Amino acid sequence: MIDRLGTLVGFLIGATLIVFGITWPDQLSNYYVYQINQYENTIGALKEQGATRNEIEAVAKEEEAFKNSFEAGITRFVDLKSFLIVFGGSYAATLIAFPFRRAIATLVYMGMVFAREKSEWEFETVYKHMVEFAELRFRKQMIPDEKIAAIPLYFLRDALENFIQVDWVSEEMVTEIINSEIESYAYNADQEINVMEYMGRVAPAFGMLGTVVGLILMMGRAAGENASIVDVMGGMSVALITTLYGVLLAQLIFLPVAAKLTRNKESYVRLYDMIREGTIYLHRRERPDVIEQDLQIYLSKRRRLQIQAQRRAEMAGGLKL
């Protein structure tokens, strides 16, 4: 029911924002156009009042100074109508295309761009704990509960608590359960990525929609008998800025966020794969050197070289003894 409601709300929002973008006054949408309109109206009023040439030129110089100012350079790219057509339309389309809860969580997904990928220390933590616990398991000793409780990684701690100390659980069951958890995480992560990639695809389309709307407005106003430069500028700003917004939102926000979410997912899955492999080896009571050698492939190349150099140094020291 809530997904159907979300689809209806998305359609209404999209239609409302497009109508708003067409009908809202240009002077109240773009500050640059508003200021130019004010200067033009002032100059027109002075001419009607029979003001001196110096008075009119003074206002014209102020207008020219504003056009060349930093403020004008920034504000000419800020247009409320264009933003609502592109962002509002893209978000409305997302509400229609995806379940309501997924679409609503879009802002949360954008916040995830600041989340870090799984770092080297987390892979190192898994490696050290697995090697340490392999020594105990191989000697048929119990892994102390306090050691498991002190593990900082939840997924590793949970896997060890649930499967290592319970010998009646089969290896197939351990593999199936952990794989199911990894697949569940990957599926949810893919849904988040799909939402952002979809918005990255539709944003330029709504930018083109705004361009068409702006051109229609511009041509309609330019054909009028009392058309002014401000009337033409208003339609032109919508036509050009919507395209700019569509490209910027897609290439600077939506698609980069999707790419970051993809990398985060890949790093999480790789870490979970490492935990699964180590858990299965511990469950089998494999030799520590086997576990150590197999899990090293998940470490960075720099760390693997350090471990190999350390092992060679230890062997050389043993031979000297």
Amino acid 113: pLDDT: 65
Q: What angle do CA 218, 56, 65 make, to 5 degrees?
A: 65
Confidence (pLDDT) at 89: 85
Q: Per residue in 108-156, pLDDT tens?
A: 777 766 666 667 888 988 999 898 888 888 888 888 888 888 888 888 8
Segment 153-172 shows an average pLDDT of: 76
Model pLDDT, residue 228: 60
Query: Residues 290, 294, 297, CA angle at the centre, nearest 5°?
Result: 155
SS3 call for 25: coil
Tell me what pLDDT residue 186 has.
92
Which sign does the torsion angle of CA 36, 37, 41, 44 carry? positive
For 71-107, the pLDDT digits (tens) are 888 888 888 888 888 888 888 888 888 887 777 777 7
CA-nearest of 115, 116, 113 to 200 is 113
Average pLDDT over residues 49-76: 86
d(CA 144, CA 2): 48
Rounded to whole angstroms, the Cα distance separating 109 from 227 reads 45
- Evaluate if residue 163 carries a pLDDT over 60: yes
pLDDT tens track for 211-270: 887 777 777 666 555 556 656 666 677 778 888 999 999 998 899 989 988 988 898 899
User: What is the predicted pLDDT for the residue at 321?
Assistant: 45
pTM of the model: 0.78
Residue-wise pLDDT tens digits, 201-214: 999 998 888 888 77
CA nearest 182: which of 158, 155, 208? Answer: 155
- CA–CA separation, 295 vs 275, rounded Å? 9
Q: Give 3-state DSSP helix, strand, coil % of the chain, rounded to 5.
A: 85, 0, 15
Q: What is the pLDDT of residues 174-191, one digit of tens each?
A: 888 889 989 999 998 898
